[in-house]
Every structure is written in C-alpha cells, then in structure tokens.
Structure 1
C-alpha cells in the first residue's frame, strides 16, 4: 500500500544521530544519505527523513503518528529506550500493554527531535 514514509527535519545530522540507533533496534542498518535526505530500507519498507526541499521550515503533523512494527514487546521497549537515549522524548503513556477495539497491543510512543510522533507496536 505504501512506497515509503518521509518526515521532515531541520537538522539532518541531528536526525541521523537520533534515527540510526532507533532503526538499528528494528534491524535496519545505518541510513543512506542522499544530499538533503536519508533513507532506511528494511523488510521491503522505506522510511526517509528529509530537510524540506522548498526551503520552508520543517513542521510536524498534529494528530499524525508513524508506527513501526515490532516482533516482541522487548523489541518495542528497546526501540523506545534507544530513541530516548538518542535525544527523543517519550510521549503518551509509558510503554506498555494496552487493550482496545483492535485487541491487545504493546505500544511505545516517542517524539523525535523535530517533534514527529513515532510509535513502536507489537500485536499480542
């Protein structure tokens, strides 16, 4: 359904320091940098981070969340811990199991240094 997901950054070097350890917890290698943007490729998916090409300031979505699939609660927790250690901010409730209409899930939420909201999800 998706070819890729891209978020903006105002500082590509800072974003790389944040996302490289975060994506490593999911099994993705360091990013491939291509000028003003970088790409992580893993399991057929592409996640990209880019400085805005129109020269306008980077902004984050209000109400938007990008979710990353995890193979276990432990991987989701490691993802969250790596993100906080690399300069991200924990948001929403602390990482843990939640139950709702979509069933039982382990969720961990972060905001990256540019304010983009990210989620690690493991369906129980």
Structure 2
C-alpha cells in the first residue's frame, strides 16, 4: 500500500548522520542519494516501501506537521526497539516516549517514540512483544 514516505529536513547532512545508523540497524539499504534527498529500503526491490528524507520540493523551509508520524515495525523484538530508541537519542534525536508496553494499543504492543533533529516524529514498535515476567 505505501510506496514511500518522505520527511523534510533543513539540513540534509545532519539528517543523514541521524538516519544512516538507524536504517543500517534496521537492515535497510541506502537506495538513492543526491543533493536534495536520500532514501533507504531494499536495494533492487521496487516493491519494498522507501523512506526518504530531503529538502521540500518548493524550496521553502521544512516544517513539522502535528499528528504526523512514521512507525517502523519489527516482529517480537523489544530489544531492537530499545536499541533504536537509544541510538536515535545518541545521534541527535529527542525523546517523545520511552520504550515500553502500551496496552491501550494492544496486548503485545511495545514501542518507543522519538523526534529526529528536524522534529519529525518516529516510532519503533512491535505488536507481539512478550510481556516481561
């Protein structure tokens, strides 16, 4: 259903420094890069959705929309959610909700929320995390 997602930036090099290690940890390849944008996905698989970060097409400053968020989902891997959250904060992101279970979204829903250096909101989630006993 999703072909690609794009979030805006006002500093592409800073955004690349933030996203490159996260995408590598998620097993995503760098797919396209020029002076205006960069993307990650599965190189050579045009059916796999891409995630882009770039300067807005209209050349106006990038702004963040309230309520807009991109969620990256992982199967039963709360440890990866924890790791990505920590890596995002280390690379210039800010906290929007620490890792943990969110039973209001489902029994096994485990997620963490961050903002990138431009203020774009990201989530790292798994829907089937095992409860900690």
What TM-score do you get using the length of structure 1 for normalisation? Answer: 0.91
Partner residue, 1:10: 10
The gaps in structure 2 that reach 5 residues or longer are 129-133
- Compute the displacement of 1:101 (Å): 4.7
- Are the structure 2 counterparts of residues 70 and 85 from structure 1 closer, same or farther at C-alpha, using a change threshold of 3 Å? same
Aligned alpha-carbon RMSD (Å): 1.5
**Does the CA-based 8 Å contact 1:16-1:31 persist in structure 2?**
no
Q: Does 1:121 align with 2:132?
A: no
Secondary structure at the counterpart of residue 111 of structure 2 = strand
Bigger-Rg structure (1/2): 2
Secondary structure at the counterpart of residue 108 of structure 2 = strand
What TM-score do you get using the length of structure 2 for normalisation? Answer: 0.86
Secondary structure at the counterpart of residue 20 of structure 1 = helix
How many residues align structurally? 123
Q: Which residue, out of 79, 84, 90, partners 1:85?
A: 90
Partner residue, 1:75: 80
The gaps in structure 1 that reach 5 residues or longer are none
Partner residue, 1:61: 65
Partner residue, 1:28: 28
Within 2, Cα distance between the matches of 1:70 and 1:17? 22
